[in-house]
Amino acid sequence: MKIVSVAENTNIEKRVAITPEIAKKYNSNGFEVSLIKNYGTHLGFRDDEYVENGVKIINDNKEILSSADIIVQLGLLSDENFSYLKEDQILVGVLDPFTNKDKLDELKKKKINIFSLELLPRITRAQSMDILSSQANLAGYKAVIESFSNFEKAIPMMMTAAGTIPAAKVLVVGAGVAGLQAIATAKRMGAMVFATDVRMASKEQVESLGGKFLTVEGSENQETEGGYAKETSDDFKKKQEELLAETLKKIDIVICTALIPGKKAPIIIKEEMIKNMKSGSIIYDLAASQGGNTAFSEVNKIIDKNGVRIMGEKNILNKLPTSASNLYSKNLYNFVINLYDNENKKININLEDEIIEKTMIK
């Protein structure tokens, strides 16, 4: 059973799908692993390190891809690499089926079995494969670090003979995995932390991390069965806006994490709210690549509005690619092992398995 991966475009994506540690695990389970030359050198994963862990290094994408049983990547392959694929192969990655529908339809016509891991169900058995959680956890942490490095005041309260510096006030919008890690990181660094979310179940989690949960009066739990936030009513949005508008006047740093899978990010922080924020404040928008949670978010730019700086990157995980690759490759490995029938040494696409059924692009 041959499992392979080719290099991503490192200008867009620095993470890799197979680390030397995970290559060794595939090898011990009877897989033959092949990688393109210099696959992970930009992260310090040398070719000889891969070879020591049972990997075959090949310097030709066509040779690697055409001979594969399973191809694991971060995103979609290039058009040229698509042409090397053959019937009954398996492609696994984060393939954004909402945006890339046409390209994925082409692959289905070629009878490629496609699995997109952002579609994993939120069930206990899938936790070890949950790429959204593992990557969002790092994104929440890094968003706080990036914000604090651009904030021109101290974060914790400091008492000195010359006077007291008050702790910075941080607001986290969206208390999912990224938001909760942002709360924990900001709190550890000495900030006063507030959070808001449409899911009332988040209140207890926020408070357990030392944050103050901002509750919209008369709010109901806006949560899907899968554990994601759902779109809210106009009445809820109006009440949320009023609460946010007042809160933002006192906030130094905002971390935005609110996303709805497959849809444009909701605009939560409006133009008028930003006008009333303190000059020198920072907004870090993790939703920027899906349109952003603010009225002014732009990907890979710092927008200055009345002294408030709004930041957002297309892929913040490119600033933590080694840690992100270590987690992502483990998620992928666990998914592949779930697909693999070890007794008969073959792939078993069992559509009665919820994990396989939900992630397969049909």
Catalytic site residue from 15, 130, 135, 199: 130
Catalytic site residue from 66, 96, 122, 289: 122
In the DSSP assignment, the letter for residue 69 is S
Helix (H, G, I), strand (E, B) or coil at 171: strand
Question: Is 279 designated active site?
Answer: no
Per-position b or e across 175-202, b if 16+ CB within 10 A of its CB: bbbbbbbbbbbbbebebbbbbbbbbeeb
Determine what percent of the chain falls in helix, strand and coil, rounding each to the nearest 5: 40, 20, 45
Domain ranges in the chain? 2-119+321-359, 136-318
Using one digit for the tens of pLDDT, what is the confidence trace for 120-137? 998 999 999 999 999 999
The pLDDT of 305-326, averaged and rounded, is: 96
Using one digit for the tens of pLDDT, what is the confidence trace for 131-190? 999 999 999 999 999 999 999 999 999 999 999 999 999 999 999 999 999 999 999 999
Question: Is 228 designated active site?
Answer: yes
Give the confidence band of 307 by pLDDT, cuts at 50, 70, 90: very high
In the DSSP assignment, the letter for residue 136 is H
Give the confidence band of 350 by pLDDT, cuts at 50, 70, 90: very high
In the DSSP assignment, the letter for residue 350 is -
CA atoms within 13 A on the CB side of 112: 26
Superfamily of domain 2-119+321-359 in the CATH hierarchy: NAD(P)-binding Rossmann-like Domain (3.40.50.720)
Catalytic site residue from 222, 228, 289, 323: 228
Question: Is 46 designated active site?
Answer: no
pLDDT > 70: percent of the chain: 95
Catalytic site residue from 28, 78, 83, 127: 127
Burial class (CB in 10 A: 0-12, 13-18, 19+), 136: buried
Using one digit for the tens of pLDDT, what is the confidence trace for 215-245? 876 555 555 555 555 556 777 778 888 999 9
What is the rounded end-to-end Cα distance, in angstroms, of the chain?
A: 23
Question: Is 328 designated active site?
Answer: no
Question: Is 79 designated active site?
Answer: no
Q: Which CATH architecture has domain 136-318?
A: 3-Layer(aba) Sandwich (3.40)
Residues constituting the chain: 362
Catalytic site residue from 34, 116, 133, 202: 133
* pLDDT score at 116: 96
Kindly report the pTM of this predicted structure: 0.90
Q: Which of 42, 47, 39, 33 is CA-nearest to residue 7?
A: 39
